[in-house]
Amino acid sequence: MKIFKTLFTLIAFSILIYSCSSDDNNNIGDEQNQLEELPVPIANLNSDISIEGATKNAGTPPAPNSNINLAISSDKAEAFQSSGFNLKFSTSEANIAGAYLLFKDSDNNNASDYFDIPVSSFKTADKSVNTKDKKGPLRSNRTLTEGEYEIDIDFGSSFPPGKFCADLCIYDQENNISQIVTVCVEVEAWGGNTAIVGEWILEESSDDDEKFPLTCENQQSIEIDYNQVIKEEIILNIESNGDFYVKDYEEYKGLDYEASRNSCSAIYHDEIKKYDDKETGKWAYNETNKTLTLVSFKYEDFINPQESEDYPNGELLFEGDKVEIINGKLIITETYTEGSQTYTDTYTFIRK
């Protein structure tokens, strides 16, 4: 079954480019922008945040007492309603035991409790991040490298758009506590740029050109398609109220690996397999970075219904990639890194 890598670390549509008047573009998402500028009430910081495996303690964390290494790539983070965000940091320390996290509002007022998060709750390089073996182009496959960590922070259903901050420090097994780093978060309102609203069909993608390396029985090396696609249709529907869905239907034949090795050419099984699924959720547009994010809250597998599931806190499908509309087509350029290599894929959608 073909797996699209970050294939759509997809729709971080950096879209603001559309053939509308400049006045129209200036008015797009005004309501969402205003909501995102508001401070998140301290009451929400006290009651609407959860971190799996963490303990909430009253007051403030123990004071820093060392200079053990702690770094963040940015002092700003993007979060999403009913979903939350992943707080990413790095350290060269080998015996990290956990982290303290204290939230505060835009006026620097502390929440009533802080989180004590054990290292077992961190996402690390050897723990997969959103790597469910599901097919589809809008599937985030973010990876971490050695020394990088993430804390998965979840919001309750009533968490509003707006701004707040968080103080993070880490501690080791000897109770050495790092200095504090502060991250300020903007919770995006659902919806935004109306230029991207509509029903889009995937016309072509550079990912389709990627080949699978095969070493033949005679030791020659060739590159072939992992699947022989017979029929494929991917529909992305973006609605003005912040809803979206992605439907992915495909008929294909799988590679006959042994026969291909023996003949040193692409040989596929006779059986035609099908893939038919749908992701449903919410989208948010970041007007500063001109990106779009898709957060799925429901996955439906129409071939194997037992694989269907709901995501109460959402599952990230796509974020951070640049997009433009050229000649009425939605062009998405995705850049991602695997190991030491950086890849770029381009996806072209047309209006249905």
Domain match, 170 and 266 both: no
CA distances for 195 relative to 97, 100, 222, 316, angstroms: 47, 41, 43, 22
CA dist 291 and 227 (Å) reads: 31
Q: 């982290």: which residue's tokens?
A: 99
**pLDDT at site 167:** 97
CA dist 253 and 281 (Å) reads: 30
Domain match, 173 and 307 both: no
User: 165 or 128: whose pLDDT is higher?
Assistant: 165
Please say which residue of 164, 188, 212 terminates a domain: 188
Domain match, 162 and 281 both: no
pTM > 0.75: yes
Whether 246 maps to a domain, the answer reads yes
Question: How confident is the model over 236-251, as pLDDT tens digits?
Answer: 999 999 999 999 999 9
Domain match, 114 and 210 both: no
Q: What is the CATH number of the domain that holds 295?
A: 2.40.128
Q: Facing residues of 98 across strands?
A: 118, 171
**pLDDT at site 136:** 56
Domain match, 144 and 195 both: no
Whether 73 maps to a domain, the answer reads yes
Please say which residue of 162, 188, 214 terminates a domain: 188
Task: Please give the single-letter amino acid code of residue 245.
Answer: Y
Question: How confident is the model over 271-317, as pLDDT tens digits?
Answer: 999 999 999 999 988 887 778 888 999 999 999 999 999 998 888 88
Contact indicator for 90, 205 with CB cutoff of 8 Å: no
Domain match, 166 and 315 both: no
Whether 267 maps to a domain, the answer reads yes
The band of 40, judged by pLDDT with boundaries at 50, 70 and 90, is very high
Contact indicator for 79, 164 with CB cutoff of 8 Å: no
Contact indicator for 164, 41 with CB cutoff of 8 Å: no
Whether 15 maps to a domain, the answer reads no
Domain match, 155 and 289 both: no
Rounded mean pLDDT, 43-58: 96
> Residue 189, SS3?
coil
CA dist 207 and 8 (Å) reads: 10
Q: What is the CATH number of the domain that holds 162?
A: 2.60.40.10
Domain match, 148 and 282 both: no
Domain match, 136 and 271 both: no
Mean pLDDT: which of 56-60, 219-223, 345-349 is highest?
56-60
- Residue 2: pLDDT above 50? no
Whether 11 maps to a domain, the answer reads no
Please say which residue of 188, 221, 246 terminates a domain: 188
Domain match, 36 and 170 both: yes
Selection from 283, 289, 275, 278 nearest residue 321 by Cα: 289
Q: 């060269």: which residue's tokens?
A: 92
Whether 208 maps to a domain, the answer reads yes
Rounded mean pLDDT, 60-89: 93
Whether 10 maps to a domain, the answer reads no
The band of 139, judged by pLDDT with boundaries at 50, 70 and 90, is low
Range of the structural domain that residue 322 is part of: 191-351
**pLDDT at site 140:** 58
Q: How many domains does the chain divide into?
A: 2
Q: Which pairing describes strands 76-80 and 181-188: parallel, antiparallel, or unpaired? A: parallel
CA dist 123 and 120 (Å) reads: 8
Whether 20 maps to a domain, the answer reads no
